[in-house]
Structure 1
């Protein structure tokens, strides 16, 4: 039984969501850094690339954000947008993690004969 068939796409989804969490956290941390350019990961593209190209696919799906309003110092982080995206991604990460934990529990029970 391979990990791919056991967890399906959810293992790769967790990896993409984890990487996206880091990118969004970096954006938030650099909200007042002059010249900082906000980035984000296109989840669908990253997931598709990860399944075909491996970890390099996430890098290819990481793009700079186009701001609604650029600040005078060239920083493109829009804090409200970043915080919302971070919170949404955190919920999606937790949901994926919960699914995987449930699947692991099912397999564990099956192996024990419960």
Structure 2
């Protein structure tokens, strides 16, 4: 009998994947801070995670628009760029912290499985 590590990790496997995708989106925003007309994007993490879990459970009705949204700037610029460096850095930092938290939960769960296999 094999171990399904995706089931063993629970929701944190999907969480890590979505956090990595959000990191990519936020890094793109930061890289395009000075690009005229660039529209900053972000992800509604809770809605995307709920959508991913619903798809995994076999429920129909995925909402792909929840995955990516355009960010509305607090202070619009004349060149049409909506990237605000402080907002992006804060979001990136929070996302990195949340990624580390999920990674810690997965690590603890896998250590528990390893102990169970070893009979400890």
TM-score normalised by L of structure 1: 0.89
Distance 2:63 2:81 in 1: 26
Contact 1:41–1:58 under 8 Å retained in 2: no
Deviations 1:17-67 (A, max 9, x none): 11001000100010000100000000101101112236x866642100011
Distance 1:35 1:50 in 2: 31
Show structure 1 runs of 5+ residues with no match. none
> How many residue pairs end up in the alignment?
113
Larger mean CA deviation between 85-94 and 2-11 belongs to 2-11
Which residue, 45, 53, 57 being the options, matches 2:55? 53
Instruction: Please report how far the alpha carbon of residue 70 of structure 1 lies from its aligned counterpart in structure 2 after TM superposition.
Output: 1.4
Say if 2:31 is the partner of 1:15.
Answer: no
CA RMSD of aligned residues (A): 1.8
Show structure 2 runs of 5+ residues with no match. 57-61
Distance 2:37 2:7 in 1: 44
Q: Which has the higher contact order (CA 8 A, sep 6+)?
A: 2
TM-score normalised by L of structure 2: 0.85
Superposed counterparts of 1:20-59, under 5 Å: 20-53=22-55
Residue in structure 1 matched with residue 108 of structure 2 by the alignment: 102
